[in-house]
């Protein structure tokens, strides 16, 4: 028995770390309903960047949490927003309004079982919105592998919550509105004399 434990320990030590993969994003039905209820014109989603671009985060010193295809977390959040908008028939890559984002923080703390996502989204109509939130998960495990798996699977609801904060913000409808044309401003599709 003692040798079996030692063999398992040596196998684990030989690996540089375990990788726990974040599941593919699934749109939140609640967010989709809110977006449909806004009755806004479709919008485009432009680039999302990050203050610190990460494709994997360290977990309890023994493992890493990574997105399913190795994309940066900022792109995972961007793709999630696109998914929500598409499900709500509110996405058009050729729309007059484009939303971009800067992920200022996307990190988790396995000891306190929470994700923290801080994000600034901008609209091409000049509006900005800052979202800073924590999302807590429950686990019943104290071991590193189980806690890290919980962190990985909890990113989906944490991002759903982040998008919920955006779409439920009272300023969000104005955020989606096309900029008003002022004197001398060309209007798309209208020829000037």
CATH number of this structure's domain 15-21+28-173: 3.30.160
Per-residue pLDDT at 17 = 67
Element (H, E) at 133: strand 128-136
Tell me the three state secondary structure of residue 16.
coil
The reported pLDDT for the residue numbered 180 is 67
Mean pLDDT score across all residues of the chain: 84
Question: Residue 76 is encoded by which pair of tokens?
Answer: 């995972």
pLDDT digits 0-9 by tens, 30-72: 999 999 999 889 999 999 999 999 888 888 777 888 888 889 9
pLDDT for res 102? 97
Domain boundaries, the chain: 15-21+28-173
Check if the beta carbon of residue 141 is closer than 8 Å to that of residue 147. Answer: yes
Which strand (E) or helix (H) includes residue 165?
helix 144-167
Residue segments in the chain with a per-residue pLDDT below the cut of 70? 1-17, 139-144, 180-193
Predicted confidence at residue 120, as pLDDT, reads 97
Res 37: pLDDT? 94
């Amino acid at each position: 028995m003692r040798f079996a434990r030692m063999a398992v320990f040596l196998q684990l030590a030989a690996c540089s770390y375990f990788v726990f993969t974040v599941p593919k994003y699934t749109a939140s039905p609640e967010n989709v309903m809110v977006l449909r209820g806004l009755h806004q014109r479709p919008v485009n989603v432009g680039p999302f960047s990050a203050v610190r671009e990460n494709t994997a985060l360290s977990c309890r010193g023994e493992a890493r949490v990574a997105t399913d295809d190795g994309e940066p977390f900022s792109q995972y959040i961007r793709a999630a927003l696109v998914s929500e908008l598409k499900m709500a028939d509110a996405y058009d890559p050729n729309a007059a309004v484009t939303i971009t984002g800067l992920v200022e923080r996307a990190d988790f703390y396995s000891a306190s079982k929470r994700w923290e996502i801080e994000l600034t989204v901008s609209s091409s109509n000049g509006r900005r919105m800052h979202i800073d939130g924590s999302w807590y998960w429950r686990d019943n495990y104290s071991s590193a592998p189980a806690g890290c798996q919980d962190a990985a699977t909890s990113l989906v609801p944490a991002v759903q919550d982040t998008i919920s904060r955006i779409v439920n913000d009272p300023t969000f409808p104005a955020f989606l509105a096309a900029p008003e044309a002022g004197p001398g401003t060309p209007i798309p599709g209208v020829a000037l004399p």
